[in-house]
Chains A and B, each alone.
Chain A
Amino acid sequence: MSGKRVVVDVMLKPEIADPQGQAVADALPRLGFSGITGVRQGKRFEIVLDGPVDDAVLDMVRKAAETLLANPVIEDFTVRLEED
C-alpha cells in the first residue's frame, strides 16, 4: 500500500437530530437548488502520516477516531486511505 494520507469521516448517527444539516436543507430551495430531500452535516479529518500506511497504521487511526475524533455515543466514522 502506498500513500500517506488517511481520511476519517465522522457523521452523526442517523437517529441523532442534525439541526445544522436541517438548516442547510431548508436554505437550499430558497436559493433555487431543487430536488434536495435531505442534508446531513459531518466532519472530515485528513490524517497525514509519516511513512507507508499499512493495516497496523489504519488500525491505529481507527483507535484514534474512536478515542478522540468521534464520540461513538452519537457519531459513526469511516476510515479510508487516500492515494496520492
Chain B
Amino acid sequence: MVRVGVVTFPGSLDDRDALRAVRIVGAEPVALWHGDAELHDVDAIVLPGGFSYGDYLRCGAIARFSPVMGEVIAAAKSGMPVLGICNGFQILCESHLLPGALTRNGGLRFTCVDQGLRILDTSTAWTSAYSTNQEVVIPVKNGEGQYVGDAQRLYADGHVVASYLGRNPNGSVGDIAGIRNAKGNVVGLMPHPEHAVDALTGPSTDGLGFFTSVLSSLVGA
C-alpha cells in the first residue's frame, strides 16, 4: 500500500485532516514527527497547514531547520512527491525547494473563504487527476499567503499549478495560488485541498484530486 507521510510540527493544525484525506483515497497515512529525522519508508510527503513554531521569526523559517526537514529536503531532491499546503508551502519556500516567498496578506486581514481556483498544470505528481483549466472550489485561510516571486517567469515556464479565480484573497502576484518545482514532484499550495474531501465538512470534494493524483503517480511508477 502506498504510504503518504504527514509531518506534524509544533503548531501544525491541519495534519489530522491531511492524514484523513490520505486515508479517504485509499493510501496509508503515516504520521511523521518534526523532531524525528526519519521518514519511515513513506512514498510521498505532505507538509500541512498551521502555525509551525508559532510563526516565530517568519512563517516556516524555524520549521525549515527541524530534524525531519533534512530528510524531507533530501527526498524531495531525489524526486519524492512533496506537497506543502499553506504553512507547508511557506516551509518549502524557506527551504528553497520552491522559489519566492509568502508574506503578509495585502489587505492585512486574515482571510478564510471557499475559493475558486483554476488548475493550470496537470503534469505534476499532485495534479494529474485534474483536467487543464479545471475550475474547483477549495477553502483558503491564511494571514501570510501573499505569494511574492517572479510570476512572469513562473507562468512562462509553466510552473504555476493553480491560480485564484475571481477575488484574489491575499494579493498574491499574478493571482498565484500554487507553484511547482521544475521536476514537478514538489508542489506548494496556499489553499487547503485536505479541507475539501468530504461533502459533510467541506464546500466540495474538489480537493480529493491532489491525493488521488499522488496515489496514481506512485502506483503507476
Whether chains A and B associate is: yes
Q: Determine the chain A residues whose CB is within 8 A of the CB of B99 once the complex forms.
A: 73
Residue from the list B61, B93, B108, B148 in contact with A16, Cβ < 8 A: B148
Assess whether B171 is interfacial by the CB under 8 Å rule: yes
Q: Determine the chain B residues whose CB is within 8 A of the CB of A69 once the complex forms.
A: 57
Inter-chain CA distance A28–B58, complex, in Å, is 26
Contact A20-B104, Cβ < 8 Å, known A68-B57, A68-B65, A69-B57:
yes
Q: Determine the chain A residues whose CB is within 8 A of the CB of B105 once the complex forms.
A: 19
C-beta contact mask, B1-30 vs A, less than 8 Å → 1, else 0?
000000000000000000000000000000
Could you say which of A12, A16, A19, A69 has the most chain B C-beta atoms within 10 Å of its C-beta? Answer: A19
A16-75 CB contacts (< 8 Å) to partner B: 16-17, 19-20, 23, 68-69, 71, 73-74
Q: Is A17's CB under 8 angstroms from B108's CB? A: no
Inter-chain CA distance A3–B99, complex, in Å, is 38
Task: For residue A21, give the distance in angstroms from its CB to the closest CB of chain B.
Answer: 10
Assess whether B101 is interfacial by the CB under 8 Å rule: yes
Assess whether B111 is interfacial by the CB under 8 Å rule: no
Inter-chain CA distance A6–B5, complex, in Å, is 41
Q: Determine the chain A residues whose CB is within 8 A of the CB of B58 once the complex forms.
A: 71
C-beta contact mask, B91-111 vs A, less than 8 Å → 1, else 0?
001100001110111111000
Q: Is A71's CB under 8 angstroms from B61's CB? A: yes
Q: Determine the chain A residues whose CB is within 8 A of the CB of B93 once the complex forms.
A: 73
Complex: chain B residue closest to A67, CB-CB: B65
Inter-chain CA distance A71–B93, complex, in Å, is 10
Q: Is A73's CB under 8 angstroms from B104's CB? A: no
Q: Determine the chain B residues whose CB is within 8 A of the CB of A23 once the complex forms.
A: 108
Inter-chain CA distance A15–B105, complex, in Å, is 15
Residue from the list B101, B106, B107, B108 in contact with A71, Cβ < 8 A: B101
Q: Determine the chain A residues whose CB is within 8 A of the CB of B146 once the complex forms.
A: 17
Q: Determine the chain B residues whose CB is within 8 A of the CB of A12 once the complex forms.
A: 103
Complex: chain B residue closest to A22, CB-CB: B108
| Residues of A participating in the B interface, judged by any CB pair closer than 8 Å | 12, 16-17, 19-20, 23, 68-69, 71, 73-74
| Residues of B participating in the A interface, judged by any CB pair closer than 8 Å | 57-58, 61, 65, 93-94, 99-101, 103-108, 146, 148-149, 171
15 A-B residue pairs with CB within 8 Å: A16-B148, A17-B146, A17-B171, A19-B107, A19-B108, A20-B104, A23-B108, A68-B57, A71-B61, A71-B101, A73-B93, A73-B100, A73-B148, A74-B101, A74-B103
